[in-house]
Amino acid sequence: MHPGLKSAAAAILAALVFTSANPASARDADWVVLGVTTADSRPDRDRIEVGPGHGAFDSLQIDVRDDDVFIKDIRVTSYDGAEETFEIEQLVKAGRALEPIPLSGRFKTLKSIQLTYKASGRIGSGRGIVTVSAAKTVASYSRADDRDERYRDDGRDRRNDRDPFVSIDTQTADRRAERIVFRTERGEGRLSEIRFTSRRDSARIGLVTVIFGNGDRQTFDVYQRLEQGESTRPIPVELTPDRRRVEEVIVGLRPSLRRGTVELELSGVRQWNRDDRRPPPGYEPQSGAPRGGWVLFGAQTVGFGIDRDVIRVGREAGQFEKIALRVLKNDIYLREVTVVFGNGERQVVPVNVELKEGFRTAPLPLDRGDRFIETIELVYQSKPDRRGQAVVEVYGDYSERWLRDSSDERRERSGGWLLLGSQRAEVFNTDRDVFEVGERFGRFKALRIAVRDRAVRIRGMRVYYGNGEVEDVAISAELRNGQTTQALEIQGRGRFIQRIEVAYRTKLNFKGEGTVEVWGLK
């Protein structure tokens, strides 16, 4: 037989065997044969070129026919050049298939697949035929029974859920409108996946069109009804060297006779490439904690690998002009910081610096200054080692307006109290922490101590004034999560506070450390 006809026949036969051997997969996903190779008794390595024209996939499937094949590993290359190797080390019998290999993030859009394998070489068996297929789930967007598989936002605290999706934009439109248009801001458009969440009442979604910066379009048949708080399943976005970022996302709304409005939130998973790793000018790390009126107002123990964490701040902490982040206990690579302000606006700062233990970022200015901060989202990468998990501390530089004695906004938000600093209260340690204050904060007539997250026993407090005098404040109290001491009057007599020393101990527990805050009243 002619070699070309022989290869074509093998491909058709392999595809037929694949379909018949995987009826459940064929029913739930759109399977595409990406290539067919042959393996003999000698170790071999074959490469299958894919390219963006095939679309984005959820998983890979490897089928074997005619002879058993030992598969050593499979290396996939994403279209932006990233590589990931799956160590298989498994003998696949003829007529059988490997379990599907899930793909995620940037590896959903493939450039090539490389297999390292060899056939068993059984007498009379000939060569093994290996079929590589990929699945893209599409029916789930419109299935009537997909309701239980959707994510429901139940409003609970998701600080530790490691959800890779971040909010990009929220739009409100008349229920009878034909479409909603979402636009991404600078630094937000490199998305590998998107999803939509109904934030008010129900929403009926039809076609979704993604428009890239170069004008290309990608369209999805979603056709799904979302109840309030429900989300679509993740929708893969095909980024390529030509399609570097998402410019707009257009959501077609299915016709409705009901009056009222629909509110949809667009969220996405950001994708990183090698070009993103250059730190912006002036963002080089600096040693130690920032000084000169900066206040420590949050800390977070971060996980291993590529991850995302959220540090809660809140309006009561005050208005800030700049922030800085310091790393303790281990090193991390800080990719991005997203500041969510009190009015819902977002500022994305692509930091892209490696922070060694004890180092901090340069001051990061906030857009327009004088801003309340709701949350700070961190995207970072860390590696496990004997030092354990890293801790990220967040410092803020107060706006002058917030520090003023006559600040009406501070009186409204916190009863006039000013956060002077916070410290982590570690389990099993008897701590004596120092809270730096300084003349910039002004003069105070009373102090109080607050505790968050865990119960902490306060053992004493000492105030050091700018003129060198010291005042001991008698206090012994056990504070639970959310509790504060009564106002502790001090003999300031017009002296500014240089620093405050607090002695305390975290109550024994198996849930981690607490947080101790010191507040001042002018």
Same domain, 11 and 116: yes
Residue 103 CA to residue 30 CA, distance in Å, equals: 15
Lowest-pLDDT range of 105-109, 192-196, 412-416, 430-434: 105-109
CA distances 342 to 134, 337, 476, Å, are: 44, 16, 35
Q: Please state the separation of Cα 489 from the chain's center in Å.
A: 43
To the nearest whole percent, how much of the chain has pLDDT over 90?
Answer: 7
pLDDT of res. 146: 37
If we measure between CA atoms, which residue out of 387, 364, 479 comes closest to residue 425? 479
User: 352 and 258 in one domain?
Assistant: no
pLDDT of residue 343: 81
Tell me the C-alpha distance between 295 and 326, whole Å.
Answer: 12
Mean pLDDT in residue range 140-150: 35
Q: Quick one: pLDDT at residue 463?
A: 92
Q: Can you tell me whether residue 23 is helix, strand or coil?
A: helix
Q: How confident is the model at residue 138 (pLDDT cuts 50, 70, 90)?
A: very low
Write the pLDDT tens digit of every residue in 230-274. 988 888 887 776 666 888 899 988 777 778 888 999 988 876 544
- Residue-level pLDDT at 430: 57
| pLDDT of 19 above 70 | no
Would the pLDDT of 420 be above 80?
Answer: yes
Q: Which residue has the higher pLDDT, 249 or 281?
A: 249
- Measured in whole angstroms, the distance separating CA 232 from the mean position of its chain's CA atoms is 18
Structure tokens, 198: 């109904």
Q: Last residue of some domain: 407, 436, 457?
A: 407
Indicate the burial class of 200 (C-beta count within 10 angstroms; 0-12, 13-18, 19 or more).
middle
CB atoms < 10 A from the CB of 289, how many? 15
Report whether 105 contacts 186 (CB < 8 A): no
The CATH number of residue 21's host domain is: 2.60.120.1300
Q: Tell me, what's the pLDDT at 21? A: 42
The answer to whether residues 342 and 444 belong to one domain is: no
Q: What is the pLDDT of residues 375-411, one digit of tens each?
A: 888 888 766 666 677 888 888 888 887 887 666 777 7
Assigned token pair, 178: 């034909």
The tokens describing 88, both together, are 């298989």
In a shared domain, residues 464 and 510: yes
Q: What local confidence, expressed as pLDDT, does residue 145 receive? A: 35
Residue 158 DSSP SS3 = coil
Q: Is the pLDDT of residue 275 over 70?
A: no
DSSP state of 27: H
Same domain, 446 and 518: yes
Backbone φ, ψ for residue 184 (5° rounding): -90, 150
256 and 317 part of one domain:
no
Contact 137, 29 (CB under 8 A): yes
9 with 132, same domain? yes
Chosen domain end from 386, 407, 428 = 407
Give the E-state strand segments of 179-245 in sequence order. Answer: 179-183, 191-200, 203-212, 217-226, 235-236
- Please identify, among 235, 253, 272, the residue that sits at the C-terminal boundary of a domain: 272
Residue 140 pLDDT greater than 50, yes or no = no
Strands (DSSP E) contained in 40-94 are 44-49, 59-65, 69-78, 83-92
What pLDDT, on the 0 to 100 scale, is given for residue 148? 34
Give 27: exposed, middle or buried? Use CB within 10 Å, 0-12, 13-18, 19+: exposed
- Whole-angstrom distance, CA of residue 465 vs CA of residue 450: 22
CB-CB contact of 496 with 456 (8 Å): no
Sequence-distant (6+) residues with CB within 8 A of 329 are 357, 387, 388, 389, 390, 391
- Give the dihedral sign, CA 312/317/319/324: negative
Same domain, 185 and 207: yes
* DSSP-derived 3-state class of residue 370: coil
How is residue 493 written in tokens? 């007599």
Q: Which domain range does residue 488 map to?
A: 416-522
140 burial level (CB within 10 Å; 0-12, 13-18, 19+): middle
**Average pLDDT score, the chain:** 76
Q: Are residues 231 and 248 in the same domain?
A: yes
Whether the pTM exceeds 0.75: the reply is no
Bigger pLDDT: 18 vs 425: 425
Nearest partner of 337 among 96, 327, 346, judged by Cα: 346
Distance of CA 467 to the CA centre of its chain: 47
- From first CA to last CA, the distance across the chain in angstroms is 94
The predicted pLDDT at position 407 comes to 64
In a shared domain, residues 316 and 372: yes
CATH number of the domain encompassing residue 496: 2.60.120.1380
Q: Rounded mean pLDDT of 38-54?
A: 79
Q: Are residues 47 and 170 in the same domain?
A: no
Are 190 and 300 in a shared domain?
Answer: no
**Residue 145 one-letter amino acid:** D
Looking at the structure of the chain, the number of domains it has is 4
Nearest-angstrom CA–CA distance, 91 and 108: 26
